[in-house]
Amino acid sequence: MIMQVKSEQRFTIEGELPSLNQYIDAERSTNRGIAAAVLKRNATIKVRLSAVQDGLLPVGGPVWITFLWFVPDRRKDPDNVVFAKKFVLDGLVWAGILPNDGMRWIRHLEDGLAVDRDNPRIEVIIRELPE
C-alpha cells in the first residue's frame, strides 16, 4: 500500500508502560480503582513529557501511528504490551499534539515488537496524512 504523508514526527518513551494485566490487577485491587487511575495518570504523564521533551508539534490532520515496542524479554504477551497505546494516545492528546484520539484523527495504528534487554522503550512514529 502506498501512503501519502504530509509530515512525520518521532519520539521515544524510555522504559516500559503498564501492561493490560497490570492495569486489570490495579482495577481489581481493594482500593476501588484508585490504583488503576493512578497507574493510567502516571503513564499518561510519562508519555506527555516524552513528547514535549522530544519537540513534537501539533498535527493538523488525520494520522497514521506506528508503535515500536522494545521490551526487555519475551515474558509478556504482545496483546498485553500493546494495550499501552491507550496511554500513548491519551498522552499525545494531553500534550496538545493530537486534538483528539477518535477516528476522525486516528486513521491507522500499527505495532512492531522486539526484545532489547538493555534499553526497553517505545518508539512512536506519527505520520500526518493529507485530509
Burial of 2 (0-12, 13-18, 19+ CB in 10 A): exposed
- Residues 100-117 have a mean pLDDT of 96
Contact residues for 28 (Cβ-Cβ < 8 A; gap 6+)? none
What φ, ψ does residue 26 adopt, rounded to 5°?
A: -65, -40
Provide the mean pLDDT of the chain.
Answer: 93
For residue 85, which of 9, 15, 20, 36 has the smallest C-alpha distance?
20
For residue 76, which of 14, 12, 22, 15 has the smallest C-alpha distance?
22
Boundaries of domain holding 73? 7-128
Residue 131: per-residue pLDDT? 76
Q: Kindly state whether residue 1 falls inside one of the protein's structural domains.
A: no
Q: Kindly state whether residue 49 falls inside one of the protein's structural domains.
A: yes
Q: Kindly state whether residue 45 falls inside one of the protein's structural domains.
A: yes
**Residue type for position 52:** V
| CATH number of 71's domain | 3.30.1330.70
Edge-to-edge order in the sheet of strand 63-71 = 7-14, 121-128, 63-71, 106-115
Predicted confidence (pLDDT) at residue 16 exceeds the cutoff of 90 = yes
Residue 86: per-residue pLDDT? 96
Residue 36: per-residue pLDDT? 86
Q: Kindly state whether residue 26 falls inside one of the protein's structural domains.
A: yes
Residue 18: per-residue pLDDT? 93
Q: Kindly state whether residue 2 falls inside one of the protein's structural domains.
A: no
For the entire predicted model, the pTM comes to 0.91
Residue 130: per-residue pLDDT? 83
Q: How many domains does the chain have?
A: 1
